[in-house]
């Protein structure tokens, strides 16, 4: 399954004895896709969008890992859609509060908070969730 939002997206697929959840970057939707724009602050802002996507990929993996047996596609989709909605909300708040990266103090605060959330979910960094 695939869900798109902002500049990143999460997809999940069934693999041998488990599920694979990946976060991806969608460069065609990013301002940095334009090769005439060279701005390290803008790049930092765009990368934070991707890291927000990774937070929700990790939360998705965490929730899947709390299930004992291989979940049904319906249950996986329900968990996926919930995380996608929360990620969309966070992405929107991020752009609003940082004014798309132009308010440097708020941008830096978001970067620290996002990195902190990623560190809290470090054990779910691996894309594969396995079941017996």
Instruction: Kindly report the average pLDDT of the chain as a whole number.
Output: 88
Structure tokens, 49: 């969008």
Say which DSSP state 5 is in.
E
Diameter of the chain measured on Cα atoms: 50
Residue 75 has pLDDT above 70, yes or no: yes
- Residues 6 or more apart whose CB falls under 8 angstroms from that of 84 comprise 3, 5, 10, 56
Least confident segment among 25-39, 47-61, 108-122: 25-39
> Whole-model pTM above 0.75?
yes
Band (71; pLDDT cuts 50, 70, 90): very high
Q: So what's the pLDDT on residue 35?
A: 55
Q: So what's the pLDDT on residue 46?
A: 87
Average pLDDT over residues 15-35: 74
Q: So what's the pLDDT on residue 8?
A: 79
Contact (CB, 8 A) for 90 and 51: no
Structure tokens, 74: 């319906």
Average pLDDT over residues 58-69: 98
Between helix 104-120 and helix 40-65 the angle, nearest 10°, is 30
Say which DSSP state 118 is in.
H
């Amino acid at each position: 399954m695939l869900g798109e939002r902002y500049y990143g997206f999460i997809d999940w697929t069934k693999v041998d004895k488990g599920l694979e959840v990946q976060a991806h970057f969608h460069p065609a939707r990013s301002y940095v896709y334009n090769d005439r724009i060279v701005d390290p602050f803008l790049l930092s802002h765009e990368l934070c969008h991707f890291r927000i996507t990774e937070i929700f990929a990790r939360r998705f993996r965490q929730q899947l890992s709390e299930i004992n047996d291989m979940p049904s596609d319906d249950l996986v989709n329900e968990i996926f859609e919930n995380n996608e909605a929360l990620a969309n909300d966070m992405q929107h708040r991020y752009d609003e509060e940082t004014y798309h990266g132009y308010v440097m103090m708020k941008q830096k605060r978001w970067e620290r908070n996002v990195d902190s959330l990623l560190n809290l979910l470090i054990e779910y960094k691996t894309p594969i969730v396995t079941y017996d």
